[in-house]
Amino acid sequence: MPNFNNVSFLQSVFKIRQLPDPLYPEIAFAGRSNVGKSTLINRLVGRRNLVKISSRPGKTQSLNFFVLDDQFYLVDLPGYGFAQVSKEVRSSWQGLIVDYIENRERLVCVVVIIDLRHELKVQDREMVEWLRYQGRSFLPVYTKADKLSRNKQLQNAAALDAALTVRPEERIIFSGQTGQGCMALQTFLASYGESC
């Protein structure tokens, strides 16, 4: 198990040619803007401020690389569903993500963060379908669980499971606020270290 507290920022990547050498297995984090991606990463590594939490959607324009305990790269992908930027900027971001996910040698898992409170959004479905098509391993994480009762959590999770065709053991219910699901997420991600 890596020490999840031992994490540091490496670099921001704006163009594919700026990608660091693939020294470690990589875990990428994807989700719609404002879903709670930054909050999840901060919780995962026990830092309040490793990744900036913003209330302004779509601010992250780069792939942000972090080194986890000299064992993994963690990669914060730009949020999708950006409403506030021009079409040109939007498509260049998407180009970068597409290129990265299709071609990155040691990308072992894409964590797809989804809001547990709502029905599955088209973009989330498209992301998961595309990852399946690419043969990429992915892990749905249903976040903001603290906003729901336990019963409602399970009910909504079952609906998302059905929409994504995943089984309960293939996803995690999470809260960045309470830390629910954080250990399960760490354990799941750590398992990618052993095989690489």
Ligand X SMILES: Nc1nc2c(ncn2[C@@H]2O[C@H](COP(=O)(O)OP(=O)(O)O)[C@@H](O)[C@H]2O)c(=O)[nH]1
Distance, first Cα to last Cα, the chain: 14
- CB closer to ligand X out of 156 and 175: 175
Which residue, 38 or 143, has its beta carbon nearer to Mg ion?
Answer: 38
Angle at 137 between CA 34 and CA 8, to 5 degrees: 55
Residue 145 and residue 125: Cα distance in Å, rounded? Answer: 20
Q: In what order do the strands lie in the sheet with 172-173?
A: 7-13, 63-68, 72-76, 26-31, 107-115, 138-143, 172-173
- Compare residues 9 and 191 and give the one whose CB is closer to ligand X: 9
What is the number of residues in the chain?
196
CA distance 42 to 48: 6
Among 84-92, 103-111, 159-167, 170-178, the segment contacting ligand X (CB under 6 A): 170-178
Measured CA distances, 151 to 4, 45, 143 (Å): 30, 28, 15
Q: Between residue 128 and residue 157, which ones bind ligand X under the rule CB under 6 A?
A: 143-144, 146-147
64 is a site residue for ligand X (CB under 6 A): no
Count the residues of the shown chain that bind ligand X, applying the rule CB under 6 A: 19
Structure tokens at 152: 């409602």
Between 10 and 190, CB nearer to Mg ion = 10
Q: Nearest to ligand X by Cβ — which residue? A: 36
| Minimum CB–partner distance for residue 21 and ligand X (Å) | 27
Interface with ligand X, residue 38, by CB under 6 A: yes
Question: Does 19 engage in binding with ligand X (CB under 6 A)?
Answer: no
Which residues are CB-contacts of 160 (< 8 A; sequence separation ≥ 6)? 114, 116, 119, 120, 140, 142, 171
Q: Nearer Cβ to Mg ion, position 53 or 154?
A: 53
- Rounded least distance, CB 66 to ligand X, Å: 14
Q: How far is the CB of 67 from Mg ion (least distance, A)?
A: 19
Task: Tell me the C-alpha distance between 101 and 10, whole Å.
Answer: 19
Nearer to Mg ion, 73 or 80 (CB): 80
For ligand X, the binding residues (CB under 6 A) are 31, 33-39, 53-55, 79, 143-144, 146-147, 175-177
